[in-house]
Structure 1
């Protein structure tokens, strides 16, 4: 509220946006919404696991924090409201202690400023050193490009389409970084949260390829997926197919089949979060064996009969792909609400990540045991 005349207050009606998600395969497909000026001061910057994106510069452990890298001086600047975590969900050998699937090919990075944040997550396709290298090079290349273009060169975006264009170009830089280091293949989800002009809300802008997704948790609206346009929630998904990847898919070029540019809007107090499929798939009721996939043929029955070892009838519902997607989001909400009921306080970003991860660790505990 501004006062332009003495003894007279002029109220400016602020713009309000709904929960709609806008998406397409190009930046021009998203709405053009004016943004407020972006602040330069960093309040949190964090990457992982271990050296995170610094691995692309040859750092393997926690000896890189004091070095200026990808536009940030300190990559261990932690904050409860800007947080990331990554652990392996593969089984651990009871004697050797070695975890299958090592090294971890997932990677995350975030850089939060006073009124804007860059978040990114990558998941190296398959296992091995090249997959890990691809994921970390992707984050290094894209983070370096965004920080340089926006905050060093002062080429700050003025609207949502500008942001998405920068994210799209950052994705190209991620691919170049992978190729320069001869890395393998990886998914990538890039996200930037920016203040909307003349509004209390923020724009959430994403560009993703593959099956690493972005979400928003709101106390009023629950959880919704920002990157929903990158995969058809109405069709059966092959969890072995990421849908797209950066890196030398054909020897030189990436596979951008499901590349999607997305924009939606969030309120103060909402939590924007990104996950790899290792987290999101474990909220799918079919993956967790709570339900069965819907049979392709038409049937008057909605269940399949099975019996346990005691001869008791077990009935599991059949869910179609869209129902499974809705259930997964509701299950995430349930886990968060349960945590808040127990702790009697609203989730911070850190406790939110911990709650979701602890749930996934619990439900995958048996299959991780040899």
Structure 2
């Protein structure tokens, strides 16, 4: 068991900011603002991956190719192993709290008319009917949604501060939702991030995950004899139709907007395997809209993003824009500008994982305060926003009085390296990779299963945002002391004004406050002894 000092030192290695610990300790203890972070690679024995990358000494290793397109015809069609309809789900989990099980309680027929949703073919009547029904005792085709496993796991939490006047975290309820169901040689993962705050956003996320996973479980594993899914092209058709079911269920449940990423991990058929499908070749097929992303972690090639085709990695992204969403964005229609199908081959032992932006953005080098944007980025970004705003509806996230603008750059950061958009993307992947390969301490062992990956990523997000929470939980922002020593609660307006004055201090410490969710699956073909852990 590493000592506390060693664990803190390891986390500092990940943060690459030598005086952050002191800055956190000084918040609320008499110092007007934390000392400015500085880039000090000489303080890190042997240099860290950030320094090596920016000095050209570290290159992001390439893994298997990632293909993407807007429709199934743009992607190759690979044959799949026959999926055994009799295979039992050995692990299933949803969250937070009761997750997807809290919606579609009446299992109503999904017959909402949406002729303007033209991104897929209209479902056949038989498919439509199957989507609206389920077996007795099952929810989204799974009888027990609370069977976590080291090989199939997910977790969600809030990174927002706790309001001292209510003792409740801001942003409640958590607007993310995840679901995963795993069989001996296949799995379906889904993750949604409700846009903005409130019950309607939470309902949208839960409905999206419920609708999409229910459809896929039926389409992939409950098909009629002689039919069903036999190629990756069939999988992508099913993925698009699952998004139709997700959107319909959001409207049925009267939810608002949400991102959605769904991934099916399936075994590929080897050309010389005949009827034997014992294989170490698998494919991860994803569909996503919005800014919830999918990744693969390989101990051989590191971390790569499956969904990178859904956003331009060579342009700076506005983190307050979800880029797209299901739900009633325009009337009853979704916003599908960045809806993307993606695929990549994965190997046994690889870990496929989905994250909300509360996880992925906290690995960003600019959010982490060890790099800054080019000085002309703000102006060019504003022009881009203005241009895009004229051509489409933007799914903007709640800014919460701009206190949570994670891309705010103070003048004190001038000593940090400048990174271009593609470097931000690669450094984000390298930072994830460094954590998963070496752990917080830098001495490993490497992450080897889905549960451990989820725990590591979430722990990192919680730690890197600790300073922001500590600033915003200062009682002086909410209470005033009278002459007799009694504390009285300030008015809402005065509380808001005091929080606004903390903007500069908040912008100087790393991290982005958000809801944070990750769900993961360890790729493989498992026997009963493997799954009975």
TM-score (structure 2 length as normaliser): 0.61
- Distance, in Å, in 1 between the alignment partners of 2:105 and 2:245 is 18
Greater share of residues in strand: 1
- Distance, in Å, in 1 between the alignment partners of 2:240 and 2:343 is 13
Residue 220 and residue 173 in structure 1: after superposition, are their counterparts in 2 closer, same or farther (change >3 A)? Answer: same
Are residue 168 (structure 1) and residue 269 (structure 2) matched? no
The answer to whether the 8 A contact 2:364-2:427 is kept is yes
Which range is displaced more, 288-297 or 168-177? 288-297
Alignment of 1:1-370 (within 5 A): 19-39=64-84, 40-58=87-105, 67-94=137-164, 96-154=166-224, 155-198=227-270, 200-296=280-376, 315-339=415-439, 342=443, 344=445, 346-369=447-470, 370=473
The answer to whether the 8 A contact 1:188-1:245 is kept is yes
Report how far residue 361 of structure 1 moved: 0.7
Look up the SS of the partner of 1:83 in the other structure.
strand
The answer to whether the 8 A contact 2:365-2:371 is kept is yes
- Distance, in Å, in 2 between the alignment partners of 1:307 and 1:47 is 43
Look up the SS of the partner of 2:163 in the other structure.
coil
Greater share of residues in helix: 2
- Distance, in Å, in 1 between the alignment partners of 2:339 and 2:287 is 7
The answer to whether the 8 A contact 1:305-1:315 is kept is no
Look up the SS of the partner of 1:216 in the other structure.
strand
State the number of aligned residues.
337
1:13 alignment counterpart: none
- Which structure 2 segments of 5+ residues have no match? 1-62, 107-135, 271-278, 378-408, 474-533
- Distance, in Å, in 2 between the alignment partners of 1:132 and 1:266 is 32
Report how far residue 306 of structure 1 moved: 5.7
- Which structure 1 segments of 5+ residues have no match? 1-17, 60-65, 298-303, 309-313
The answer to whether the 8 A contact 2:219-2:229 is kept is no
Look up the SS of the partner of 2:265 in the other structure.
strand
- Distance, in Å, in 1 between the alignment partners of 2:223 and 2:265 is 19
- The answer to which structure, 1 or 2, has the higher relative contact order (CA under 8 A, 6+ apart) is 2
- Distance, in Å, in 1 between the alignment partners of 2:372 and 2:298 is 29
Report how far residue 348 of structure 1 moved: 1.3
Which range is displaced more, 39-48 or 115-124? 39-48
- Distance, in Å, in 2 between the alignment partners of 1:280 and 1:360 is 9
1:71-112 CA deviation, whole Å, 9 max, x = no partner? 111111221010000000111124532000000000000010
Look up the SS of the partner of 1:186 in the other structure.
coil
1:40-78 CA deviation, whole Å, 9 max, x = no partner? 32111110001100111459xxxxxx9411111111122
Which range is displaced more, 149-158 or 347-356? 149-158
CA RMSD of aligned residues (A): 2.1
The answer to whether the 8 A contact 1:31-1:263 is kept is no
The answer to whether the 8 A contact 2:236-2:285 is kept is yes
- Distance, in Å, in 1 between the alignment partners of 2:423 and 2:345 is 24
- Distance, in Å, in 2 between the alignment partners of 1:229 and 1:367 is 32
